[in-house]
Structure 1
Amino acid sequence: MKSGPGHVRSRREPELALAEAVALAIALPDLEVVGAEVVRLPRAQPGLLFGTGKVDELKARMAEAEVDLVLVDGPVSPVQQRNLEKAWKVKLLDRTGLILEIFADRARTREGVLQVELAALNYQRTRLVRAWTHLERQRGGLGFVGGPGETQIEADRRAIDEEVVKIRRQLGKVVRTRELHRAARRKVPFPVVALVGYTNAGKSTLFNKMTGAEVLAKDMLFATLDPTMRGLVLPSGKKVILSDTVGFISDLPTQLVAAFRATLEEVLEADLILHVRDIAHPETEEQAADVGEILESLGVDEDVPMFEVWNKIDMLGPDTRAALLATDARTPGVHAVSALTGDGLEALLAAIGSVLDEERTEVVLHLGFEEGRARAYLHRENVVLEETELETGHRIHVRWTARQRAAYEAIPG
């Protein structure tokens, strides 16, 4: 159910936003979608979201269709959720709750699971409302359990806070382990190529086609939650690491962007970014804008080269396809492909090779302790092979391209 006056996602047509929401719902296992509609609201009602007439009308239809779960594609306050669940006698999820359910179903690595748990706890904490009588009870305090007269809602909140601290500690260990893996990769300096894009743009299919890896490539939103990395040998013989990441989406709730930042950190490490677009989608431009915004929020360096990969050309009519291929031919950094049929992949791989085949040279630098900015730049660019601390500063062995050397020499200091 897509609700609201439409100001939240002004770029989007409500019907297309609803189609995306249905695709989100289908991504959950064992869930059958029996109906979907846009409900236009002059303004959201604080208690029930919808007006009472609409609530009654929807209740009758839900009872007739034997609905167990209602999804509202937008924010629903804890009070609205409680009141609607009571009125309709169903379970209700808002957009954040639904995306969390999908993340929980898709998480595979230890880090992915912990990130999901952290985001879920933070979400749950905001939804502690006095919905049931047990939340109204007060517990006498014995000091070590909680303060005197601690209410059940306070106890629930405290339990969540303790669990959040525990998960953050575990995440810290996981991230340190991943840093060690990254450091090991830097010593065998294969360039990293990251696939990014709107969810369902065909990243996993492209990843499989390029590497032969069998990553889940179903036509589902969020099919990949944890970055999957594989080695790839380019036509030139050069070895690179290809990284497939979780799909981006419009209006990804802020707390989820923060919680899953680590999942997307491979993008920050990339030597080349491939922005995969579903060029056959009616809102491909809006989707590309969403991806651009998220990349910017992640702090991706503007110097990192990026290709636009216009995927799914096999779904276009002959005239549109011909026009697109003509645009591709005269636009640097744009590559029209079909991950399904393999069309255009040869040219894409050759272009990746030409960007990454910049000659690299090794040199030993001596930096004083005061040259922190220059040292930080070298680490950010992943060019450090070895570093030794001396009495006068740092001795750093680097392997870099002419472009990276020029940027280093331009650092003031």
Structure 2
Amino acid sequence: MPEDLVITGCGVVTAAGTGKKEFAQGLFSGGGRFAVMERPGRGGERGFLGAEIAELTLPGRFSGRLLRTVSLSGRAALLALHEAWEDARLDTADPERVGLVIGGSNVQQRELMLKQDAYRDRPAYLPPTYAFSFLDSDLCGLCSEQFGIRGAAHTVGGASASGQLAVIQAAQAVRSGAVDVCVAIGALADLSSWECQALRSIGAMGSDRFADEPDLACRPFDSLSDGFIYGEACGAVVVERASTGGGRGARPYAAVTGWGVAVDANRNPDPSVDGESRAIGQALAHAGRAPGDIDYVNPHGTGSGVGDPVELAALRACGLDGAYLNATKSITGHGLSAAGTVEVVATLLQMEAAVLHPTRNLETPIDPTLNWVRGQAESRRITHALTLSMGFGGVNTALCLQNANG
């Protein structure tokens, strides 16, 4: 494989499995953990549905004193980064040449709301850590401090495209020479009941139809879907040049061959065939690939009655209707800011196993003529893959990956 940008490490936290091994098992079995959400500050009279992760156990390198001041989003970021860091053997990398990009803004909303409620009548006793925990830079500071990262570090917000946008910016940072290695993290968006209610009110979040059957509610690209189902998640990937990782003995999962970013000039959550097609076209051109070269597409696929048909129309417009398709969110739920990074990890694991995971609850596809992977996993060799993410505010991203093993 020619000298190129590659992904040499990944880490993941989802309700379908924490860590690569458990996550892969959850993907290929089509498992899911959907229920009425119970975290404090996220409940509500309407009983919001979602997929909440099990209690997180962090490795001994993180002190108990530290973890007592760290939010759920922070703990998930540390755990995903730890796995990716170990995977890529980054302990021997020059810390001044390692960068960090965190995808997501306003990601600690629930924990901040709980603090506000707890100290509303005694504000003078508000914990001093609130002064920095409400800032997006908090996760940058937390992760860089714990892992000794001394290169560039910043956040990037693109709503539900944030996670994939972080991977793209990590690749750009390495390609420009700003750093030798860059970690991209899609942060866990910790929704409170306020965000859940607002997303229900605009018709984005389901589900009224399956309120009493949570296991059936998350159904991207299915005719009975009535909105996305939230899922707690966090993902991390390490991007660097092949020679840099090879010098540490890190093995590449895939090459990052091309990407595209296009916006719709639209504040509202109204997807656009034009914008999505432009992002896809940019990614293919950047990668030097024709549509027919793409074996597999990991789509954004949320379960939106508006977004899903537009995305499939964009794939057809770009000549990608021959590629295999599945929907990772059918298993994980919609991780919002984390989704794009988690779905890159899902794509890498499918490439590695030469297996495509099933799409849960895809009983009546809105377009049955496409190459769906439906009720069970399928053995498929993936050489070139395309992953897509879209976010409110008209943000469209696309990323091309090439299997490192041919």
* TM-score using structure 2 length: 0.26
Higher CA-based Rg: 1
Bigger helix fraction: 1
Q: TM-score scaled to structure 1, two decimals?
A: 0.25
